[in-house]
Amino acid sequence: MDGFRLLSAGDTALVVEFGDRIDRRLNARVLALARHLNEAKIDGLIETVPTFRSLMVQFDPLVLPLTTLAAHVADLAKRPEPAEELGRSWTLPVCYDTILAPDLEEVAGRLNLSPAQVVERHSATIYHIYMLGFLPGQAYMGDLPGELVLPRRETPRQRIPAGSVAIAMSMTCIFPMETPCGWHLIGRSPVPLFEPLPVPQPLLAPGDKVRFAPISQREYENVAAKIADGTFRPHPETSRAAA
């Protein structure tokens, strides 16, 4: 088993680094440590923030000295990973119609595939959520099939619509709000990924699994209308404990 490094991130945060690459096994260790720390209910531990390959642990140094936290981390990081992957499973609707997917035809051409083949490969994959970041509720999902891997766009867009489904490198994302973006837009989902009120709450979590279900533009509009009037909300297909 690979080791880990403890890195100081100021007076109130400690980073536990497990490696230097995007890898599901490393990410499983990150999520397992986050779960162990949260379950331990350590006085002075404020929050754990998973990334692709490391875990940031925020703490109150007046309650929890750094040396004590480091000892907890060293002990808990040695625990075996759970035999069963943690997280929930989701199927999220995505419309790949070109009116909502401005880069789909260009992506298909660059990959020597038809647009339908791009959609088939993108929607047939079960994606692992490595981390949330960049925007509230934005889930970085991997891993794209090798046939769909592309670098970012040479010229980023200044603004894309909320719900845009995009690919770049080995990742895919649903962008939860309007934002500048340098990824390739191949669809759009009507499902909101972040509820700001009454309590800020992301829909997805690190360790969850996601599959995309292709829908027509009419179905997209119907689901969007139901979400707007409160008659539709997505639910996970399974309810295993998330990290």
Total domains, the chain: 2
Q: Please report the pLDDT score of residue 85 as a whole number.
A: 66
What CATH number should be reported for the domain holding residue 71?
3.30.1360.40
Sequence-distant contacts of 202-205: CB under 8 A, at least 24 apart: 202/132, 202/136, 202/137, 202/139, 203/137, 203/234, 204/90, 204/129, 204/132, 204/137, 204/139, 205/87, 205/88, 205/129, 205/132, 205/242, 205/243
User: Which DSSP category does 228 fall into?
Assistant: H
Q: Are residues 135 and 223 in the same domain?
A: yes
Q: Give the confidence band of 242 by pLDDT, cuts at 50, 70, 90.
A: very low
Q: Which helix (H) or strand (E) holds 171?
A: strand 171-174
Q: Is residue 33 part of a domain?
A: yes
Question: Which tens digits make up the pLDDT trace of 188-199?
Answer: 999 999 987 777
Specify the residue for token string 């100081």: 8
- pLDDT average, residue stretch 19-48: 93
Q: Is residue 238 part of a domain?
A: no
Q: Please report the pLDDT score of residue 84 as a whole number.
A: 59
Q: Please report the pLDDT score of residue 241 as a whole number.
A: 41
User: Which domain does 212 fall in, by range?
Assistant: 89-228
Q: Are residues 203 and 126 in the same domain?
A: yes
What average pLDDT does the chain have? 92
Q: Are residues 174 and 214 in the same domain?
A: yes
Radius of gyration of the chain (CA): 19
- pLDDT average, residue stretch 154-160: 96
Q: Is residue 130 part of a domain?
A: yes
User: Which DSSP category does 102 fall into?
Assistant: T
Q: Are residues 152 and 50 in the same domain?
A: no
